[in-house]
Structure 1
Amino acid sequence: MSSIDINRRHSLDHDHAREAAEKLAQELSQQFDVNYSWEGDTLQFKRSGVKGHLNVTPDELQVHLELGMMLRPFKSRFEQEINGQLDKLIAQA
């Protein structure tokens, strides 16, 4: 498996940080057909060939994804999309 780890510092309050995480999950769900669900302050992502989570902490959003062999060629696309969405969401909040 190939993994992606992205940590993004933020100065958002808890509700806005969760809202940013939810928006990111919605975008990933639409673009990559990823299912997600909340478990406390952690979003769990899953679909065939991808699993991971996004932790919402008081000062950071922590994304960890594991890509199966078939999706390894798309690793940079996943990273670009996640980084771009996080930049946009944190700047808007």
Structure 2
Amino acid sequence: MLACVQALAARRRNWHDGGFFKQKEWVMADINIVQAHQLAPEQARAAAQQVVDKLAEQFELSCRWEGDELHFDRTGVNGKLTLAPNEARVQLTLGLFYGAFAGVVEAKLKDKMARVFAA
């Protein structure tokens, strides 16, 4: 009987000391993709818009241009596509919910960028 009471007391301590409610670090998924291209600035800008339009359609994102950066965001998703003379770079952060799909999102984004910026 004493052993049973001691075991329950130990469980209760774990319960209150964070054993059951211990806050875990919430990890967000970061996706970084660099795609080389040989497009003229106007063509690169149009290609970037195509990539982000596809993302916006899937995630209901709002988008805005700030110079050579196309920013996009919504709750749980934010990022930017930056244009340079010979490369396009996407930096995307997915929150907890969307982070579970990071592998699929990254693969589709890489494929779309390769197709659009190859033109």
Q: Does 1:67 align with 2:102?
A: no
Instruction: Kindly tell me the number of residue pairs found equivalent between the two proteins.
Output: 92
> 1:46: how far off?
0.1
Q: Distance in 2 between matches of 1:42 and 1:77?
A: 24
| TM-score, structure 1 normalization | 0.93
* Unmatched 5+ stretches in structure 1: none
- Say yes or no: does 1:53 pair with 2:80: yes
Runs of 4+ in 1 over 2 A off after TM superposition: none
Superposition RMSD on alpha carbons, in Å? 0.9
Counterpart residue number, 1:31: 58
Between the aligned residues of both structures, percent identity stands at 36
* Structure 2: segments with no counterpart, 5+ residues: 1-27
Q: Determine helix, strand or coil for the equivalent of 2:38.
A: coil
- 1:41 maps to which of 68, 79, 87: 68
The TM-score normalised by the length of structure 2 is: 0.74
Map of 1:13 onto structure 2 = 40
Indicate the structure (1 or 2) with the bigger Cα radius of gyration. Answer: 2
